[in-house]
């Protein structure tokens, strides 16, 4: 898995990149009450706002970690946003994207670097 400074995780599955938020981010946000997902087929650039999460504490944006196309969203989060709190690294992924240049992942943190980052 790969990690961003915005507390997103990325996992490569076949030719797609799956994106979610880390357990640390989910804990900081508190109870998630709403998730606004992007449209499938949307082309995004790195750092574009892609997902909006609302918790009992605040609203937060999830940014595109890479350039690519959103090819699938996790509609289960629309019905059950609390899944983000229950299983942030598994069932609560936000979207899958097709990325032209997978070598861009090399610029992200691995698990050891992310753990050091959150201290």
Q: Are 96 and 13 in contact (CB under 8 A)?
A: yes
Q: What is the pTM of this model?
A: 0.93
Mean pLDDT by runs of 10 across the 119 residues of the chain is 96 95 94 96 96 93 96 96 95 96 94 95
The Cα 28–Cα 103 span in angstroms is 30
pLDDT of residue 67: 96
Fold for the domain defined by 2-101: OB fold (Dihydrolipoamide Acetyltransferase, E2P) (2.40.50)
For the chain, the structural domain boundaries read 2-101
**Dihedral Cα 15, 36, 29, 118, nearest 10 deg:** 30
């Amino acid at each position: 898995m790969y990690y961003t400074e915005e507390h997103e995780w990325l996992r490569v599955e076949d030719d797609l990149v799956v994106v979610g938020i880390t357990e640390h981010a989910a804990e900081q946000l508190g109870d998630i009450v709403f998730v606004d997902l992007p449209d499938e087929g949307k082309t995004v650039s790195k750092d574009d706002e892609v997902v909006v999460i609302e918790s009992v504490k605040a609203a937060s944006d999830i940014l595109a970690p890479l350039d690519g196309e959103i090819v699938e969203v996790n509609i289960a989060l629309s019905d059950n946003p609390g899944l983000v709190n229950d299983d942030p690294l598994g069932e609560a992924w936000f979207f899958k994207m097709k990325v032209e240049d997978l070598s861009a992942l090399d610029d992200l943190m691995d698990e050891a670097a992310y753990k050091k980052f959150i201290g």
